[in-house]
């Protein structure tokens, strides 16, 4: 038997209904704040992610599904959405639009990670990006919007972790200090962290092994070193969140697996999830557009994992669509008329299903009951149909061309 690839899953109709509900909630919340939907291609030039996400990240080093496009160019199934949205912003000259340009997406992404609960190789994200504003209000508003999406999704008791990375220039000095600290404790660091002291010392905060974690507990943090405009920006974000009544925990060890972040950085964790507890997160990325050869443009955004939200939620599926009428056939001579009646009923705005499995009349009535049909119209050779009200069991003869009107009269 051929099965779906490891780390991927099918979205079955029941799941699709829960997802549709989540999508509706997110669309309403983001739409009300002026975010408009964007969708970019499923694959992009590999270079976009190498440059955008960062050569030193796990995503680029080990998790990308890359392939040759047949003409010698390397393409990659998108591992994330921010770099593609920035590429689209530049490509379509969106800097000429009123700023910030506020965009959201609901797309699938691909990472060759070790699959486990909440971590897949193809997964979905709802993401929001505000491109063209450096204002701390943008960050605070995005954080509040993500909190609202999570709440509407029924994710409930989430913890917001908040930090700031400052600007890359401000970070240089700190990075040197951190590198010196890591070198001084090199013997206790995991080989992974040790190998990347130069390339990405900040990732040491994200290490899972005990000895490294212990070393990192006394490491100098960037938050303590924030100065000038970086410090002011972060103070303003915090003040806005305080005013909005959103609780957060300052987390100087917060690191995300993407290199483009500057200043504000955050994640929402759900205690209902296991090891993969982050439901969503994001931050400011003021240099990314420039790095992708666009005009210098500050930006900020987040993404939330759809599967993780659904794992942490009580959100029920939207109730199934009601079936106004099931069109049954009394005998073979009625099939043409039944086919036409089902179509007419749909054109008239009713939901109608047709017998498609060659069941006996009794079997058809049982099936109609199972799918929750309000009425069954039994169509045969003559010009009348039997119209059965499934809730009362009452059945009457109606001219075939009056069936739709009779149902509509009962359920206006």
Tell me which residues touch ligand HAM (CB under 6 A): 80-82, 111, 113, 118-120, 123, 125, 127, 129, 256-258, 278-283, 285, 301-305, 307-308
Q: How far is the CB of 357 from ligand HAM (least distance, A)?
A: 38
Q: Is the CB of 256 or the CB of 400 nearer to ligand HAM? A: 256
Q: Is the CB of 46 or the CB of 353 nearer to ligand HAM? A: 46
Q: Is the CB of 153 or the CB of 404 nearer to ligand HAM? A: 153
> Which residues, 6+ apart, have CB-to-CB distance to 34 below 8 Å?
102
Q: How far is the CB of 276 from ligand HAM (least distance, A)?
A: 7
Q: Is the CB of 121 or the CB of 374 nearer to ligand HAM? A: 121
Q: How far is the CB of 308 from ligand HAM (least distance, A)?
A: 4
Distance CA(17)–CA(78), nearest Å, equals 25
Determine the 3-state secondary structure of 278 from DSSP. strand
Determine the 3-state secondary structure of 244 from DSSP. coil
Q: How far is the CB of 351 from ligand HAM (least distance, A)?
A: 35
Distance CA(59)–CA(229), nearest Å, equals 31
Return the half-sphere exposure (C-beta side, CA atoms, 13 A cut-off) of residue 276. 18
393: left (phi over 0), alpha (psi -120 to 50) or beta: left
Greatest pairwise CA separation for the chain in angstroms = 93
Residue matched to tokens 């990375």: 165
Q: How far is the CB of 121 from ligand HAM (least distance, A)?
A: 7
Q: Kindly state the tokens that stand for 239.
A: 């003040």
Q: Is the CB of 124 or the CB of 375 nearer to ligand HAM? A: 124
Q: Is the CB of 119 or the CB of 185 nearer to ligand HAM? A: 119
Q: Is the CB of 80 or the CB of 230 nearer to ligand HAM? A: 80
Helix axes 136-152, 228-243, angle to 10 degrees: 40
Closest residue to ligand HAM, judged by C-beta, is 305
Q: How far is the CB of 142 from ligand HAM (least distance, A)?
A: 9
- C-alpha dist (Å) from residue 357 to 283, 335, 363, 364: 54, 12, 10, 9
Q: How far is the CB of 99 from ligand HAM (least distance, A)?
A: 17
Distance CA(355)–CA(219), nearest Å, equals 70
Determine the 3-state secondary structure of 253 from DSSP. coil
């Amino acid at each position: 038997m051929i099965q779906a690839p490891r780390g991927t899953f099918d979205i079955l109709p029941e799941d699709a209904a829960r997802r549709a509900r989540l999508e509706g909630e997110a669309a309403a919340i983001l739409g009300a704040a002026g975010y408009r939907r964007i969708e970019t291609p499923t694959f992009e030039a590999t270079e976009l992610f190498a440059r955008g996400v960062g050569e030193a990240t796990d995503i680029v080093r080990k998790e990308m599904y890359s392939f040759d496009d047949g003409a010698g160019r390397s393409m990659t199934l998108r591992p994330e959405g921010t770099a593609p949205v920035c590429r689209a912003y530049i490509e379509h000259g969106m800097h000429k639009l009123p700023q910030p340009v506020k965009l959201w997406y609901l797309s699938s992404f691909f990472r060759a990670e070790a699959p486990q609960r909440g971590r897949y190789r193809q997964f979905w994200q709802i993401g929001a990006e505000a491109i063209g504003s450096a204002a701390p209000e943008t960050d605070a508003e995005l954080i509040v919007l993500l909190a609202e999406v999570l709440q509407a999704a029924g994710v409930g008791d989430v913890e917001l972790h908040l930090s700031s990375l400052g600007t890359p220039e401000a970070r240089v000095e700190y990075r040197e200090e951190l590198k010196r600290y890591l070198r001084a404790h090199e013997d206790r660091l995991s080989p992974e962290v040790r190998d990347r002291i130069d390339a990405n010392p900040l990732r040491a905060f994200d290490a899972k092994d005990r000895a490294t974690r212990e070393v990192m507990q006394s490491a100098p943090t960037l938050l303590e070193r924030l100065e000038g405009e970086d410090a002011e920006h972060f103070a303003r974000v915090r003040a806005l969140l305080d005013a909005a009544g959103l609780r957060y925990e300052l987390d100087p060890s917060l690191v995300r697996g993407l290199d483009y972040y500057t200043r504000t950085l955050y994640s929402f964790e759900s205690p209902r999830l296991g090891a993969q507890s982050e439901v969503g997160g994001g931050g400011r990325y003021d240099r990314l557009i420039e790095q992708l050869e666009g005009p210098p443009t500050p930006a900020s955004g987040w993404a939330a994992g759809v599967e993780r939200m659904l794992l942490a939620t009580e959100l029920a599926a939207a109730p199934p669509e009601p079936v106004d009428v099931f069109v049954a056939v009394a005998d073979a001579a009625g099939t043409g008329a039944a086919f036409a009646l089902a179509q007419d009923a749909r054109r008239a705005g009713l939901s109608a299903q047709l017998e498609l499995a060659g069941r006996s009349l009794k079997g058809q009535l049982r099936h109609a009951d199972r799918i929750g049909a309000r009425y069954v119209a039994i169509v045969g050779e003559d010009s009348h149909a039997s119209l059965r009200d499934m809730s009362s069991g009452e059945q009457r003869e109606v001219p075939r061309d009056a069936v739709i009107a009779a149902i509509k009269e009962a359920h206006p």
